[in-house]
Amino acid sequence: MKLLKFPYLVQKEILQNVEPSYLLLLSSVSKNLKKLIKSSQLNRFKSTDFIRYECCYRKRVFVYVFPRDCRPKEVLRFVEREKTDEGHFKLNVLGETIDFQMSKQGNLVSMFHEEEKEMVIQSIHNYFLDFFGNSMEYQWMARHYTYSIPRLRNLSSCFDMTIVDLEWEDDENLENFFAYCPVWKCINIYFPCMYDIFTPESKIHLAESVKIHEHFATPILSHFKGKQLVINHTFCKFSELVEFVNKWKSGESFHKLEYLRIQKNLLEFPQTHFFNEIGAKYIPATRIPPIHTLLKVHVEDDRELNTDPIISHAYVVRETDNRVASVMIQGKTMSFGVWDMTEEEFLSMVDYFQIYFVGRIISS
CB 345 within 8 A of CB 279: no
Q: With bands split at pLDDT 50, 70 and 90, how would you rate the model's confidence at 2?
A: confident
Is pLDDT above 60 for 167?
no
Report the percent of the chain where pLDDT is more than 90. 44
CA gyration radius, the chain: 25
Would you say the pTM of this structure is higher than 0.75?
A: yes
Q: d(Cα 288, Cα 311) in Å, to the nearest integer?
A: 9
Q: Which of the four pLDDT bands, split at 50, 70 and 90, describes residue 168?
A: low
Helix (H, G, I), strand (E, B) or coil at 257: coil
Checking phi first, is residue 279 left (phi over 0); if not, alpha (psi -120 to 50) or beta?
left
3-state secondary structure 49-64: EEEEEEECCCCCEEEE
Express each pLDDT in 131-147 by its tens digit: 998 889 999 999 888 78
Distance CA 158, CA 168 (A): 22
Label residue 359 by pLDDT band (50, 70, 90). very low
Phi, psi of 94 (to 5 degrees): 50, 45
Rounded CA separation 323/343 (Å): 6
Instruction: Write down the domain spans for the chain.
Output: 186-191+202-363
According to DSSP, the residues that pair with 291 across neighbouring strands are 311
- Alpha helix stretches (DSSP H) within 84-188: 117-132, 171-180
pLDDT in tens, 96-129: 899 998 888 888 999 888 889 899 999 999 999 9
Residues 23, 77: Cα–Cα separation, whole Å: 15
Q: What is the pLDDT of residue 260?
A: 96
CB 101 within 8 A of CB 107: no
How would you classify the pairing of strands 48-55 and 61-67? antiparallel
Which pLDDT tens digit goes with each residue over 6-60?
899 999 999 998 988 899 999 988 899 999 999 999 988 888 888 999 987 667 8
50 close to 58: Cβ distance less than 8 angstroms: no
Alpha-carbon dihedral sign for residues 192, 194, 196, 201 = positive
Q: Which of 312, 338, 345, 328 is nearest to 248 (CA)?
A: 338
> Which string of DSSP letters, residue by residue, matches 28-48?
TT-HHHHHHHHHHTHHHHHTE
Are 318 and 278 within 8 A, CB to CB? no
The mean predicted confidence, pLDDT, of the chain is 86
Which residues have a Cβ under 8 Å from the Cβ of 283 and sit 6 or more positions away? 289, 313, 314, 315, 347, 350
**What integer pLDDT is reported at residue 347 of this predicted model?**
92
Please name the amino acid found at residue 105: Q
pLDDT tens per residue, range 268-298: 888 999 999 999 999 998 888 999 999 998 8
Strands, E, within 240-297: which ranges?
259-264, 281-282, 291-292
CA end-to-end span of the chain: 58
Average pLDDT over residues 143-157: 87
